[in-house]
Structure 1
Amino acid sequence: MEDPQRTSEPINFVHQDEIWKAHIKVEKDSAAVWPNKWGSLTEVYKEYQKESVKLKEVVRLEPPGDPAARPLTPPDKLIQVAPSPPVPQTTQALIGWRSSHSHLQLEKYATVHHGRRSFLKELGWPCDACS
């Protein structure tokens, strides 16, 4: 409640207590008004829960397919990891050592060119139009 940064000014405990009481009063008033304003949401949420339970039971009863019909694919066929280049000798060379190899770079398809366009050029205005 008290700010440790402001040690030079005296703390008015009565004023802080009044602020706290106002916060509590707002909380109590809003809690009393909430069912009248938003109470209908609780009924809709209960209906939604009942429907979701019914849908889950239907999904459990009728599986989409026979799991024995298709074999599981081993992860070795899905994920292919290339061997890493040797680790550099110095810590200075360690920065960006994997990105220096083209097959290990993060941008696999092309370099990203965001923000290269000018709004003024798109409108056909001279570049000195805004400063």
Structure 2
Amino acid sequence: MAGSKETSKRTNFVHQDEIWKAHVTFEKDSGKAWPNKWGFLTEIYKEYDTKNQELKEGLKQTLPPQPTVPPFIPPQKYTVVGPSPPVPHTSQAFIGWRSGHSHLQLEKYSIVHHGRRSFLKELGWPLDACI
């Protein structure tokens, strides 16, 4: 029963203090040793920073002027749409009903003509030349 009344483990404050002192000592020693081991990184960073600034200055001088935006022209001046033919009565006839009339000047998609030629035949090579 005596063990159930204890709510937490007993701590050794002297031991915890020694651990803390060791951590602090290690941090101080690491801070003193860092420039000898890793100090070259600061010099490389300074070189990188100066080169970066030079490149930025060079870019500022060589950039072309910004393009200007052309004046706005309302679409009504350059787009002409003719009157529509009557609306079809069926849904099947409704598909593409405006594009079927040439006087409306709408885009028409025609048959795609894929080449049926052979590169090897154009060069006069045998068909098994690229195998």
TM range (shorter): 0.3 to 0.5
Structure having the higher Rg: 2
With normalisation by structure 1, the TM-score equals 0.44
Higher RCO structure, 1 or 2 (CA under 8 Å, sep 6+): 2
